Amino acid sequence: MARYGVLSQFITSYPKFAVSRYGIPSEITVSLPGNEFLRRAWQRIPSSMKPGWNPQFFLTERFDRLASVRLRAGASIFVGLSGSSLQTLRRAQTFGMTGIIERGSSHILYQQHILNEEDARWGVITNQTHPKVIEKELQEYSEANYISIPSNFVKKTFIAHGISDDKLIHVPYGVDLKEFYPVPRESKTFRVIHCGGLSLRKGVQYLLEAFAGLRLPDSELWLIGGITDEIIPFLRRYKTANIMVHGPKPQSDLRKYYCQADIFCLASLEEGLAMVQAQAMACGLPVICTENTGGSDIITSGREGFILPIRNVKAIQEKVLWAYENREECKAMGEAARLKVSRDFTWADYARKMLEAYQKINTA
């Protein structure tokens, strides 16, 4: 929006020097870095040392309160991140702005249901969204004029929970082609790559079971992402020499990992539209994903990859085995994936589509 000259004010927890990297003028930026500092400090405390207190609502409410005070009149549209924007949304509407809530995942109640279901399946507690955050999100959905979402999967969860289709702005996320593009491979070993947190929500437990069960010669599974406590037992259970945990990597390094693989796999139980899918596609990889990743917005199953049911180990095995046995067809599918995102799903495409949606709202 800044590039189009229509961004009036940008309120963020990031410091101004970080925001300036994205081309957002400092004179329109309001930085509230205290929240970012507190959030990151909390994340660095080991789980064993944390008290029972959940700071999630405190942090979102603190940011919302500070942002609402700093919001100025003059714009025609307000866009706020879900769970962090109720007070600011209300103030924006007193200024006559159309209020839009940006929701990057499925409807909060659907998300809670499926994550609680998975926790019960494995006898753990990973889903710790603060009840007041859920309550606040639901109120935001109710009071906003529109809700911006990234995928048809997310749209279905909102409609299933009583939100009208007319209230939803559906624009898929994009990928930066200057950062993600093919580079030469360094080895012929067949590789499956996952990128994202190693967690139950990301379905890593099912990917591990599927890959370990195939026992493919000269093959590797690369796992890129931070390790959560709940996935450690699964990593131990399926530990083999060809399952490699590389840990979290900065986005600027991801390209070189994608490009050493044959196929990307994301077995998530719940996403909005996982951006790692488009990143992998831009690097020339076909994608195996579940129907709950938002992948159907950017992938035609059988053409740029495969879309599978959640929690289906056998289906994952079938598609990984197909890629293993059909290297040339897999490579061609990856090229189709690269062309698909290059043509329709860059961040420039996202910006244009979103601006068109805002303009339509503004003239309604």
pLDDT (tens digit per residue) in 269-326 = 999 999 999 999 999 999 999 999 999 999 999 999 999 999 999 999 999 999 999 9
Distance CA 267, CA 66 (A): 38
Spatial separation of the C-alpha atoms in residues 180 and 280, rounded to whole Å: 8
Closest CA to 221 of 208, 231, 233, 234: 208
Kindly report the pTM of this predicted structure. 0.94
Q: Considering only CA atoms, which of 258, 205, 211 is closest in space to residue 228?
A: 205
Give every CB contact of residue 13 below 8 A, 6+ residues apart in sequence: 31, 32, 33, 34, 35, 36, 39, 63
CA-atom Rg of the chain in angstroms? 21
What CA–CA distance (Å, rounded) separates 152 from 266? Answer: 17
Rounded CA separation 33/31 (Å): 6
CA distance 183 to 266: 22
How far apart CA 154 and CA 5 sit, in angstroms, is 29
What's the mean pLDDT when you consider all of the chain?
Answer: 95
pLDDT digits (tens, 9 = 90+) for 201-249: 999 999 999 999 999 999 999 999 999 999 999 999 999 999 999 999 9
Q: How confident is the model at residue 123 (pLDDT cuts 50, 70, 90)?
A: very high
Find the mean pLDDT for residues 253-277. Answer: 97
- Domains, in order of start, for the chain: 10-170 (no CATH), 190-344 (3.40.50.2000)
